[in-house]
Structure 1
Amino acid sequence: MPTSSIKRVACYVRVSTENQLENYSIDEQTDRLKAFCKAKDLTIVKFYTDGGYSGGNMNRPGLQQMLKDIKGKHIDMVIVYKLDRLSRSQKDTLTLIEDEFLSNDVDFVSMSENFDTSTPFGKAMIGILSVFAQLEKDQITERFTMGRIGRAKNGYYHGGPTAPTGYDYVDGELVVNEYEALQVKEVFKRFLEGKSINAIQKYMSEHYTNKYGNWSSHTLVLNILRNNVYIGKVKFKGKVYEGKHKPIISTEVFNEVQKLLTSTKREDSKTIFQKNPFKANNLLTSILYCKKCGARFCGNHGNYVCYSRGKTDRRKIIDPNCKNKKWNIQALDKIVKDEILEAALNKDYFNKIISTKKVDTIDNSKEIKKRIDEIDKQIIRMMDLYQVGGIPIEQISNRIAKLKKEKDTISDQLIGKKQTKLSISEAKGILSRSAMILGNGDLSQQRMVVSNLIDYIDIDDELIQIHWSFV
Structure 2
Amino acid sequence: MRTALYIRVSTEEQAKEGFSIAAQRDKLLSYLHSQGWTLCSIYTDEGFSAKNTSRPELQRLLADMRSGKLDVVLVYRLDRLTRSVLDLYQLLKEFDRYGVRFKSCTEVYDTTTAIGRLFITLVAALAQWERENLAERVKLGMGQMVREKKRPGGPPPYGYDIREGRLAINPHEAEVVRCIYRRFLSGFGPLQIAEELNRQGYRGKMGAPWSAGTVSHLLQNHVYSGTLRWNYALGGQRLNPPEEWMLVEQSHPPIVEAETFDRVQQLMEKRRKTHPRALASDFIFSGILYCSRCGSAMSGKTASTRSASGKRYTNRYYLCKNKRSGACQAPAIREDLVEQHLTETLLSYREETRSAVAEAAASTPLFTPRLALQEQLRKLAQKRQRWEEAYGEGLIPLDDYRRKLEAVKETEAALHKEIAADHTGQMSAADRRDLLLDFSQIWSHATLTERKHIASLLLKKMEAEACPKRANVHQRTVEVKRLEFH
TM-score with structure 1 setting the length: 0.49
The structure whose Rg is larger is 1
TM-score by length of 2: 0.47
